[in-house]
Chain A
Amino acid sequence: MIDHMSALFTLGNMQFLLRGAGMTLLLTMIGCTAGLFGGFLLAYARGSKGTLTAPLRWGATAFVEIFRRIPFLVTLFLVLYTAQMIVPRAPLFWVAVVSICLLCSAYMAEIVRSGMESVPAPQIEAAEVMNFSRWRITWMIVLPQAWKVILPSAVSYMVMFVKDTALASQAGVFELMFAGKALANRGLDPFLVFATVLFAYFVISWPLARFGRWLEAQLARRTHEGDRR
């Protein structure tokens, strides 16, 4: 046991795992940022009225419904094999980024949409009467209020998503779980290796989860104070 531990907890191995953790964070950041933008565009397209934009609306709905209903693992494999078909030797990092963006935009679209729906309809009707364009209504009336609903849900989705990125290791992308598997393959005790990896994910995920709860409480308090004024 002690032998195993001293074999695992060397400076080099820990740096290797830390680099993996850095990649996990990077993948999460890319996914959630792109997801928020993509999700907003999808939600905006889904909310359009008019016959001309109908294909756009259906397309956005289909995208969201499809990618929310395919397991991330299957999306990852599909993107991987499709990328290899189009570009030989497609870089695995970008395969992971593309599949993460697909997944995140689909989930964020629902989060953004429910945030936008939380804005009272009379406000939007009033703006419509004043002949505001849809973009101006969204930009000046809906979003300034909706972000308080969107942000906490987005953070709690992020907390879930950090843990999903572990699957990217299955496509050969270097991140925390991949680093763990590599160490285990080099003959280090898998029990200790995966326990360490689990701990590392916990260290990433737990503060993020607490931050999300804090943020939610703060925003809820501010909203209530605003009501009283």
Chain B
Amino acid sequence: MNYSLQFGQIAADVPYILSGAWPTLWITFVTFFVAAALGLFIAMVRLKGGPLASRLAGIWVTLTTNSPLFVVLFFLFNGLPNWGILLSPIAATLIAFIAISSGYLAEIQRGGIQSVRQAELDAAETLGMSRLQILRFVIAPHVIKTTYPALSNFFIFTMLGTSMASLVGVNELTGRAIEVSSRTFRSIEVFSLVAVTYVVLSLFASAALALVGRWLFRVKARMI
């Protein structure tokens, strides 16, 4: 055991590593919101589409929720070039992440939509609400309230998942850590710094999500 921790040697690289949080965050945001919209669409097709369409949507959900994101990413990045499709690291990342997340988010939102009671819809109709009003005042608040905890969990999950993007060469938090550690050989220092950064980022995200939920949607959620 002749390894001693020397954080001094990576001091110059710390700002570079930490600013890797920006790519991490924007990939998380883009993935989450695009996949959530796509997931909502898939969930609607599954519930209200024709027999063929809803079946296709079901197959999509089964395929995406049972495929490892990491392998899909590798398939897109290393497998497709043989067939003449060359994706940039960031394109492969976004496609893989959005595709896989859309399946999970579709399931979460389907559960939420299905939990709206028919009696509530009947009552709204009896009150003479238009379809848009029913969607805005009856369905949407209910769905947001029931799915919010699962959605915020998934947001954190996505954030942690983005570390896989480093393996196809995206220069985000983990990617920068790998780069600096292979240059300076101070691996433990670099990765513990990155681990702390992830913990701090996700704690902030959890707190922000809990506050947003409480203020906007009156969801009672634990901060941690």
Q: What is A's interface to B at a CB cutoff of 8 Å?
A: 65-66, 69-75, 77-78, 81-82, 85-86, 159, 162-164, 166-167, 170, 177, 180-181, 184, 189-195, 197-198, 201-202, 205-206, 209
- Cβ of B111 < 8 Å from any Cβ of A? no
CA distance A209 to B107 in the complex (A): 13
12 pairs of residues in contact across A and B, judged by CB atoms under 8 Å: A65-B199, A65-B224, A69-B156, A69-B202, A70-B198, A72-B160, A73-B167, A163-B71, A177-B68, A190-B81, A191-B75, A202-B67
Inter-chain contact B195/A78, CB cutoff 8 Å: yes
Inter-chain contact A166/B70, CB cutoff 8 Å: yes
B149 to chain A, nearest CB (A): 11
Q: From A192, A195, A209, give the contact of B65 (CB < 8 A).
A: A209
CA distance A181 to B73 in the complex (A): 13
Measured CB to CB, the nearest residue on chain A to B70 is A166
Instruction: Give me 4 other A-B pairs in contact (C-beta within 8 A), A73-B163, A85-B3 excluded.
Output: A66-B199, A71-B162, A74-B163, A81-B188
- Cβ of B187 < 8 Å from any Cβ of A? yes
B175 to chain A, nearest CB (A): 10
Which 3 A-B pairs have CB atoms at the shortest separation, nearest pair first? A163-B68, A71-B163, A191-B79
- Cβ of B78 < 8 Å from any Cβ of A? yes
Report A-chain residues with C-beta under 8 Å of the C-beta of B133: none
| A73-B174, A74-B195, A167-B164 known; A195+B79 contact, CB < 8 A | yes
Instruction: Report the number of A-B residue pairs with Cβ-Cβ less than 8 Å.
Output: 116
Report B-chain residues with C-beta under 8 Å of the C-beta of A72: 160, 163
Q: From B79, B164, B188, give the contact of A193 (CB < 8 A).
A: B79
Inter-chain contact B65/A81, CB cutoff 8 Å: no
Inter-chain contact A194/B198, CB cutoff 8 Å: no
Measured CB to CB, the nearest residue on chain B to A191 is B79
Inter-chain contact A69/B71, CB cutoff 8 Å: no
| A69-B199, A71-B163, A190-B82 known; A78+B188 contact, CB < 8 A | yes
Interface string of B165-178 (1 = CB under 8 A from A): 01100000010011
- The A interface is mostly helix, strand or loop, or mixed, namely helix
Report B-chain residues with C-beta under 8 Å of the C-beta of A78: 188, 191-192, 195
Measured as residues with beta carbon below 8 angstroms from the partner, the interface class of chain B is: 35 or more
Q: From B74, B162, B167, B187, give the contact of A81 (CB < 8 A).
A: B187
Q: From A69, A159, A189, give the contact of B82 (CB < 8 A).
A: A189
Report A-chain residues with C-beta under 8 Å of the C-beta of B191: 74, 77-78, 81
Inter-chain contact A202/B78, CB cutoff 8 Å: no
Report A-chain residues with C-beta under 8 Å of the C-beta of B164: 71, 73, 167
Report A-chain residues with C-beta under 8 Å of the C-beta of B114: none
| A82-B188, A170-B167, A195-B75 known; A74+B83 contact, CB < 8 A | no
Report A-chain residues with C-beta under 8 Å of the C-beta of B166: 73
Report A-chain residues with C-beta under 8 Å of the C-beta of B174: 71, 73-74
Q: From B69, B167, B194, B202, give the contact of A163 (CB < 8 A).
A: B69
Inter-chain contact A202/B63, CB cutoff 8 Å: yes
Report B-chain residues with C-beta under 8 Å of the C-beta of A177: 68, 70-71, 74
- Cβ of B1 < 8 Å from any Cβ of A? yes
Report A-chain residues with C-beta under 8 Å of the C-beta of B202: 69
Inter-chain contact A166/B66, CB cutoff 8 Å: no
Q: From B75, B156, B162, B178, give the contact of A194 (CB < 8 A).
A: B75
| A74-B174, A77-B191 known; A69+B70 contact, CB < 8 A | no
